[in-house]
Chain A
Amino acid sequence: MVCCRKLSGEVFFIIWAAVTLCIILFGSGSAQDITVNNNLEFGPVFPGVPKSISKYSAGEAAEFFITGTPNAEITIDFTLPTYMYSSGSTMAIQYSTTDCAMDSSATPNQSSPGNDNLNPRQTLTYRLGSTGLTIWLGATVVPGLMQKPGNYSATITLTVAYTGN
């Protein structure tokens, strides 16, 4: 009988520990996730005529959506291509120091984002909102006068990490 009570105490301790850990794991620090809502779409580009896509332009600007622990601070780093490629040909792509914007509100507003005119080449630090964080990116392509016709593309990489704050 004594033996049974001791075993029950240990089992209770293990269950308590498991429950506590579940609270720690799922209550305080869920992993973040990034969704690419929209690629950066330049559409038709004329040789010799630079074309800019505004970060405010819905359906054309790149849009990323980050989810994770509400109010957690994160760092955001873009790895931005310098050129777009098409079967051996390259086309320059440029980013201004104000080509990025983000909004952590529950209803993100691309035309009037909460945090605007950010430099996408710098590490950005921000807090996730209650539902996440939306990031927009614009850019400019600079085709040459003799730019070879065709479909050009390049990869934009976004890395997000918690700071622990």
Chain B
Amino acid sequence: MKTRKVNHRMLSVALLTGMFLLSIFNFSFGQDVARGQAQATVLPLIVVTATQVLDFGEVFQGVPKTIARTNDDSAAIFTITGEHGAGINLQLILPEYINLADDSDRMPIVFRATDAAVDTNGATPSTVVAADGWVDQNPYILPAGATIGATNTRIYLGGKVNPSSNQKAGAYTNDIVLMVAYNNQ
């Protein structure tokens, strides 16, 4: 009987000690881990295509020639695709001259403050109006609020060449560069 009594007490003390240590362990060293997510959706890339070159065609020596931005066949057309409605920054880098392939002569090219249009509504150079985007824009400072239209956005550009009276005959070219970037708007 005495032995049984001791065992009960020893058992109780052991239980008490064990649970106490367990509680201390839990209190001091317990840890929890949670996992959250970082999530983002990357929108479609901007793609810029030179759909049509600014084509002055045949030019006579000493006779300036102008191509209007409204000329469906000869105005430069750039087409921009990407996320519909996203704001974009537009910048044209325009040449001051167009050159013969062998660089033996060059011809001045100028752009007036109304030689560009921005079309977000699927119009054409000859039909684009202010409601379609922006018309009569300065190609050196394209509108800051431009966006990508439902199908695309197009830039129409006209210009003028001023051949000299002794302009060398031949095919003159140079690059017109359009840079487009999302502006997070």
Contact = CB atoms under 8 A, between A and B. Distances in A.
Contacts of B181: 48-49
B131 interface: no
Interface of B: 1, 5, 8-9, 12-13, 15-16, 19-20, 22-24, 26-46, 83, 86, 181-184
B36 A158 contact: yes
B42 A147 contact: yes
A13 B27 contact: no
Contacts of B12: 10, 13-14, 17
Interface string A15-38: 001001100110011011111101
Contact of B42 (A14, A72, A148): A148
Contacts of A4: none
Contacts of A112: none
A59 interface: no
Contact of B16 (A20, A32, A44, A157): A20
B16 A3 contact: no
A118 interface: no
Given A32-B30, A49-B182, 9 more contacts: A21-B16, A29-B26, A29-B28, A150-B42, A155-B35, A155-B36, A158-B33, A162-B30, A164-B28
29 contacts: A14-B15, A21-B16, A24-B19, A24-B20, A25-B23, A29-B26, A29-B28, A32-B31, A32-B32, A33-B32, A39-B36, A49-B183, A51-B40, A84-B38, A91-B42, A93-B38, A149-B42, A153-B39, A154-B38, A155-B36, A155-B38, A156-B36, A157-B35, A158-B33, A159-B31, A161-B30, A162-B29, A164-B28, A164-B29
Given A14-B12, A36-B36, A46 B182 contact: yes
Contacts of B38: 39-40, 42, 62, 81, 84, 93, 139, 153-156
Contacts of A40: 36-39
Nearest to B87: A46
A146 interface: yes
A164 B28 CA distance: 4
B31 A161 contact: yes
Contacts of A24: 19-20, 23
A148 B22 CA distance: 52
Nearest to B86: A46
Contact of B43 (A28, A29, A139, A149): A149
A154 B9 contact: no
A156 B33 CA distance: 10
Contacts of B20: 21, 24
A93 B38 CA distance: 9
